Structure 1
Amino acid sequence: MTLAIALEPAPIETDSQGVVRVAKTRITLDTVVTAFLEGCTPEEIGEQYPSLQLPDIYLVIGYYLKHRGEVHTYLAERQQQANLIRQEAEQRFNPLGIRDRLLARRNESK
């Protein structure tokens, strides 16, 4: 019996916003890599995210291990974007005192 050896491409794709997602799911590369770096096994990741196929999780982790530098750069860029969005939201909608403002608004409507 001859074993057919074929290279499987990593099941990742970039969506219209530039976010890398796994195998036509809503699960991001960030999610899988972060779980892996926190010590989760591929099986545990699959339990946490049932829309992912176990072979795809292994392929994504393999991709990460072969392209650590690029993935870390991508993750750092995503973190910077998230920080900017949070800062913009906090400037537009100051979270300080929000509870008091909401309670005051509720008491006004009574």
Structure 2
Amino acid sequence: MPVVAAKSYIEYRNDTYWVEGTRISLDSIVYAFQQGLSPESIVQSFPLLTLEQVYGAIAFYLANRTEIDAYLAAETEAFETMPQPLQESNPTLYEKLMKAKQQKDE
């Protein structure tokens, strides 16, 4: 009887985990799973994925939960420390720039 090789559903590239062969991040699958969505519902949200890929991603997460939770926490922290758009960080300056742009366009 031939030995079946294990499939890999997740790849690590550019410092991010991805569903192998796609541009869909593991983060997206994990957040949906943590919100209580079923694998079938996740497939509906990401029609490029197969049910097998979603189950594979969830299995990868569950097998590496501590590491992936730490990775997600670090990603969230990095996102929260990113500079805010000018519209939010300095609304007065943003408004002045928009008025100047509008006058220039007239």
TM-score range, shorter chain: 0.7 to 0.9
By how many angstroms is 1:109 displaced? Answer: 2.6
Determine the structure 1 residue equivalent to 2:33: 36
Normalised by the length of structure 2, the TM-score is 0.80
2:103 matches 1:107: yes
Identity among equivalent positions (%) equals 27
For the residues of structure 2 that align with 1:7 and 1:62, how far apart are their CA atoms? 17
> In the alignment, which residue of structure 2 is the partner of 1:78?
75
Residue of structure 1 equivalent to 2:11: 13
How many residues in Structure 1 have an aligned counterpart in Structure 2?
A: 102
**Alpha-carbon offset, residue 12 of structure 1:** 0.6
Residue deviations 1:72-109, cap 9 Å, x none?
0111111122223x22xx3xx63232245314421343
Q: Structure 2: give runs of 5+ residues left out of the alignment.
A: none
Residues 1:55 and 2:52 are matched in the alignment? yes
Structure 1: unaligned runs, 5 residues or longer? none
- 2:86 maps to 94
**Structure 1 residue runs of 4+, over 3 Å off?**
4-10
Q: Structure 1: how far apart are the matches of 2:11 and 2:54?
A: 14
In 1, distance between residues paired with 2:56 and 2:96? 49
C-alpha deviation, 1:51, in angstroms: 1.2
Asked whether the 8 Å contact 1:10–1:63 carries over to 2, the reply is: no
Contact 2:10 2:60 in 1 (8 A): no
